[in-house]
Chains A and B, each alone.
Chain A
Amino acid sequence: MSEMTTERQPARRLPKFLHGVDPAVATAFACILLLLAFGSFYSTSFLSPEYLLQQLKVASFLGVIATGMMLVILLGQIDLSVPWSVAVGGMMACAAAAFGPAGEVLAIPFGIACGMAIGLVNGIGVAYLRIPSMIITLATNAVAQGLMVVYTGGFSPQDSATAAMRWLATGSLLPGVPNAVVIWAIIGAVAVFLLTRTTFGRSVYGIGNRERAAYLSGVDTRRIVMVAFIISGALSAFGGVLLAGYASKAAQSMGDTYLLPAIAAVVLGGTSILGGRGSYLGTVAGVILITLLQSILSVMQMPEAGRQIIYGVVIVAMLLLYGRTPPVR
């Protein structure tokens, strides 16, 4: 009595990132086009390749950071330590460069490693000590800030970016395509692969849906959660490295403006804040959406008050369009 109806939906057979039919992602991309169309009423420059490339470049910083955030959100957690993980990444990479040629070479890995250390504390707190991520990451953020204040005050660290950092953020290896964009594309591709093709990715979705069941299936859920937080810390720090390369130096406040946009980008991209559901392509859309929105409001010289209100209204409106959770019945 094989009742197994084997009508297979062809769309589902595609790898996850090609689920072009996901209505949330499609709508998010539609919103991007809408936004550009709207911007072009103000100035046709919004459609110029320079402007769009510039947006993609700037978006890639947020994109790198949001990748880590997405991973953590897929687990049903959140990482509020992004601001100072970004700053630590940028500052420590620059600081390492002060130590001769070896420092130059190790600058980027060192910055990332520092971010991983923050992620490790978050991960241990969430996975092994079962502290809610919302609070442990808040605390590590405060500790990271404290460390950087002590450090800046005590060591007058070098804070100019190395040539390599600058090249990564502002150079372009492929003509016309900023390296930052290439980097985001690579990180994105790895993320898609990780999420859809590996046991790690499956485990992330599984834990996000029901950690207890994942654990009883023999998955070391605590290690996966910890690793996810480490990755998030690393990517935040790497975002900081790129940002420092972009601005050619690091500063304490450089991560402040990335926390809420990172969360918003992930969720606008259709990832459930409760975990277990979401695709990377959506996050890409979310990141571009947020970056464009901010940029267009800036260029239109919207006063801050109006900018905030429009920002809020647009996010609510877009979520109402496609980000609604299914009804209980």
Chain B
Amino acid sequence: EPEVVSGPAGDPNCFAPWASETKFFKYPAKEGPYRIALANGYIANTWRIQMIQTAKAYAAQPDVAAKLKEFKVVSTGEDVPAQISAINNFIDSGYDAIVVNAQNPTAFTPVIKRAKEAGVVLVAFDNILDTEDAINVNVDQKGLGVLWANWLAKHLPEGGKILEVRGVAGTSVDTDRHTGIHETFAATGKKWDVVEVLGKWDDPTAQKATADAIAVHKKFDGITAQGGDTGVVQAMIDAKHPFVPFGGETENGFRKFCAKFAGEGLKCSSAGTGPAQVAVAIKTAIAALEGQVVPQSVKLPTAIVEDPNFKEGEDFYPDQSDNFFVGNSFPTCGINFTAQEIMGQTKENQ
């Protein structure tokens, strides 16, 4: 039952609307401090672990903590109904806002209805909800695909043979990125021969798929991959495939390779968005509860680094894990966690 109002948002720099026609919401202002819950689904990968750490760290920041009476996190695994039930339970237990990384974009319609009736603010991020009745904090997935394809087109002006390593079949993220890539290639009018394999956002899987593709197709002119990028580069190295332009995500390991082998032809565009977006989502939820105007769909800035700009200690960290996602700060929202900080933070707490 938020009021639909016209923009701009209370904090227009951070809460950028997704598109010009995006609606703006104004919820009735509530007295703080608030009870906020994070309903996460899957948990067993670095991205999600980092995300949870960030959420906790963000909620513990003094100015944020002052506004919160309770911040509760529950991870329900890959089972959609379990996540739906978790949200139901949060609603029944009187939480003011619920932040969700949704296991499925379309399955939450009944819960969204219930949240609305109960006056609970629902904010989805990362894996967002296919709805206009809740707030989405959104990454432009298709835009990423466009970006990568443009990068390859720039380096291969005459077109060429491209290896596209896709993510998990059937997810909107994978499809959006894929569509972005292919539309962009088509628009160049050049001849592109795209070989698609499934990497499942997983390094070893992507690595195997790439190795197989190289063994059979011998030579590619360019590569684009979503997730598993480190594995893809590793496969090239193992197969002694010459380095070629590459459009990929923001894993630290990938960026290490990009920096190291740039001179040998590994010209990278590394773009994506890190787990710190959860902080933006929490921030949005608090703003909504305070009665500020917020867009129904918030567009997150993408963190992009392109060759030759990979800077050690800023865009990548040689001493740190390959697995973490570097693009992790949102300066426009005053959110400046480096992944390093997040990983380090709890170490001291132990």
**A39-63 contacts to B (CB < 8 Å):** 43, 45-46, 48, 50-51, 54-55, 58
- Decide if A257 is an interface residue (CB 8 Å cutoff): yes
**B191-222 contacts to A (CB < 8 Å):** 195-198, 200, 202-205, 207-209, 211-213, 215-218
Contact yes or no, B198 A304, CB < 8 A? yes
| Given the contacts A43-B216, A253-B202, A301 and B346 also touching, CB distance less than 8 Å | no
Q: How far is the CA of A43 from the CA of B214 in the complex (A)?
A: 13
The interface residues of chain B lying within 8 Å CB-to-CB of A145 are 44
Contact yes or no, A149 B44, CB < 8 A? yes
The interface residues of chain A lying within 8 Å CB-to-CB of B52 are 153
Q: How far is the CA of A205 from the CA of B70 in the complex (A)?
A: 58
Contact yes or no, A243 B196, CB < 8 A? no
The interface residues of chain A lying within 8 Å CB-to-CB of B212 are 51, 54-55, 58, 295, 298-299
Q: What mask results when residues 230 to 262 of chain A are scored 1 for a CB within 8 Å of chain B, else 0?
A: 000000000000010011110111101100000
**B115-143 contacts to A (CB < 8 Å):** none
Query: Interface stretch among B7-15, B103-111, B230-238, B285-293?
Result: B230-238
Contact yes or no, B215 A253, CB < 8 A? no
Contact yes or no, A156 B344, CB < 8 A? yes
Contact yes or no, A298 B198, CB < 8 A? yes
Q: How far is the CA of A156 from the CA of B339 in the complex (A)?
A: 10
The A/B interface has a contact count, at CB < 8 Å, of: 111
Contact yes or no, B216 A251, CB < 8 A? no
- Decide if B46 is an interface residue (CB 8 Å cutoff): yes
- Decide if A159 is an interface residue (CB 8 Å cutoff): yes
Interface of chain A: mostly helix, strand, loop or mixed: helix
The interface residues of chain A lying within 8 Å CB-to-CB of B53 are 153
**B318-342 contacts to A (CB < 8 Å):** 320-323
Q: What mask results when residues 151 to 167 of chain A are scored 1 for a CB within 8 Å of chain B, else 0?
A: 01111111110000000
- Decide if B169 is an interface residue (CB 8 Å cutoff): yes
Please give the number of chain A residues whose Cβ is less than 8 angstroms from any Cβ of chain B in the complex: 40
Contact yes or no, A301 B46, CB < 8 A? no
Question: Which of A46, A54, A303, A305 is the most central at the interface, judged by chain B CB atoms within 10 Å of its CB?
Answer: A54
| Given the contacts A46-B216, A159-B321, A301 and B197 also touching, CB distance less than 8 Å | yes
CB distance from B326 to the nearest CB of A (A): 14
Contact yes or no, B198 A155, CB < 8 A? no
CB distance from A249 to the nearest CB of B (A): 4
A255, closest chain B residue (CB): B204
- Decide if A170 is an interface residue (CB 8 Å cutoff): yes
- Decide if A214 is an interface residue (CB 8 Å cutoff): no
Q: How far is the CA of A43 from the CA of B195 in the complex (A)?
A: 14
Among all A-B residue pairs, the 9 with the closest Cβ atoms: A156-B343, A304-B169, A51-B215, A45-B216, A249-B322, A247-B204, A153-B49, A247-B203, A299-B216
In the complex, 29 of the A-B residue pairs with CB atoms within 8 angstroms, ordered by the A residue number, are A45-B216, A48-B215, A50-B215, A55-B212, A149-B43, A149-B49, A152-B46, A152-B49, A153-B52, A153-B53, A155-B347, A155-B350, A156-B321, A248-B234, A248-B322, A249-B321, A249-B323, A251-B203, A252-B44, A252-B46, A253-B45, A253-B202, A295-B212, A298-B208, A298-B209, A299-B213, A301-B195, A301-B196, A303-B169
